[in-house]
Amino acid sequence: MNTQNENNTDALNPYNTISKAEFESRMATQEMDKELVTSKADIGSMDMEELTAYVLEKGWPKFRAKQIYDWLHKKFVANAEEMKNLPKDMRETLDGDILRVRMETKQESKSDGTIKFLFAMEDGQMIETVFMRYKYGNSICISSQAGCPMGCAFCASTIGGWKRNLRPSEMLGQIYEAMRLTGERISNVVVMGTGEPFRNFDHLIQAIRLLTSQQGYNLSGRNITVSTCGVVPRIYELAETGIPITLALSLHAPTDEKRKTLMPVAHLYTIQETLDACSQYFEKTGRRVSCEYSLMSGINDGPEDAKLLGQLLAKRNFHVNLIPINPVSERDFKATSNDAVLGFKNTLEKYHINVTIRRSLGGDIDAACGQLRRKYEG
C-alpha cells in the first residue's frame, strides 16, 4: 500500500516535483560530478601553493606566482595582457590558462539599482548573478552550478535542468566581473543563486578559501552565506572545515509531508535530521544558522504552518528569514499577502524566534533565480 501511494504522483506530488525514485537516482549518479572539460590549467582556481607549483613547472621564477595571484584576486584581471609587470611571452602563456566569465546581458532595476547579470561561461552555459545595493554595502548572489538538479517545485532554476558544476574560478569570476562592470566593491557574498552548493562541495570550499585568503580579496568568512536545500552529510563536513561562514537552510515547510511535495530532497533527509545537522554546525562554529522560508499563498503560509514552524524551532538557536516568493510564469505559485506575512512573523515571535522579512529587491526585473536565463534561452 505504501509503495502504491509513493508512486501516486497526483496524491503526493501535486506540484509536479520529480519522484522519490527519480531524485534518489539523480543524487546517486556520478554524472553529478560533471564540470567544464577544458585543456586550460585554470589558474584562477589555484591557491598560492598550486600556483607556485604551476609557475615553477613553467621554469619561471617563484616570485612570479605572487604577482599573478595579485592580478587575479586583488586586481580582478581576466586578461593576462593587462598584467604589465610580467614579460610578454609569460602573459601569452597565462592568457591560455585563464577561464573567463563574460557578461551576455543584464537587467537593472529602476527602483533600487539591483542588477541581474546573465554571464556566459566558456562552453556557452549561462548563469545568473545578482548585484544588490544596501546602505551597509553591496551584496552579490552567485550561482554554484549551471542549472539545478534539486527539483524544488517553486524554483525557476530547476526548469531547464542541471547542466554541470561550476569551477572555483567560475564562481569567483561572477564576483570579480560584477565589480569590474559596476566599479564598486562587494562586502557580502551569498551563494544562493542557481544550483545546490553542497552538490559542488569541493569547488565551493576552494572558492571560499580563495575569496577569504589574506593574499587575495581577504573577505571575512562572516560576510559569506551559503544556502543549501539540506544535504545533511555536507552540513557536517562544512562544520569540520573550520570556515566561519553563515549557513542558510532552505526549509520552506514545517512538516516532512508538506516539504516532500515542494522539495524532493525531503525524501532523503527528514526535517529532524536536517535541523540536527544545522545545530551541530552552530555548536562547532558558533555561527547561528538562518532558516529560509519562502511564503506561498495557500500552501505553506497559514496560521497552522506558522504554529508548527514555531514549535519546531523554538528550542534551537536559529534565525528565520521569511521570503515572499517571486512569482514565476512557469509555476503556479502566488506570493503571500503583506498582512499574512506579518501574521506569520508575529506567530513565530511568540515562540521567541528571531525573524526578519527579506526586503524585496529587483521587483521590476526578473529577480527570481532562473528567470533571466529561461527568458534568454527561450
User: Known catalytic residue: 128?
Assistant: yes
Question: At CA 106, angle to CA 105 and CA 112, rounded to 5?
Answer: 175
Instruction: Check if the beta carbon of residue 103 is closer than 8 Å to that of residue 126.
Output: no
Instruction: Check if the beta carbon of residue 84 is closer than 8 Å to that of residue 102.
Output: no
Cα-based torsion angle of the residue sequence 87, 89, 91, 97 in order, rounded to the nearest 10 degrees: -150
Strands (E), the chain: 102-108, 115-120, 126-134, 137-142, 145-146, 164-165, 188-191, 224-228, 246-250, 289-295, 318-324, 354-357
Q: Region of 230 please: left (phi>0), alpha (psi -120 to 50) or beta.
A: left
Handedness of CA 261, 227, 163, 29 (dihedral sign): negative
Of 92, 128, 196, 377, the catalytic one is: 128
Of 155, 229, 291, 369, the catalytic one is: 369
Instruction: Check if the beta carbon of residue 197 is closer than 8 Å to that of residue 218.
Output: no
Instruction: Check if the beta carbon of residue 360 is closer than 8 Å to that of residue 109.
Output: no
User: Known catalytic residue: 291?
Assistant: no
Pairing of the two strands 164-165 and 145-146: antiparallel
Instruction: Check if the beta carbon of residue 151 is closer than 8 Å to that of residue 23.
Output: yes
What is the radius of gyration, based on Cα positions, of the chain?
A: 21
CB-neighbour burial class of residue 315 (10 A; exposed 0-12, middle 13-18, buried 19+)? exposed
Phi, psi at residue 201, to the nearest 5°? -65, -50
The Cα 129–Cα 97 span in angstroms is 24
Q: Which residues are catalytic?
A: 128, 369
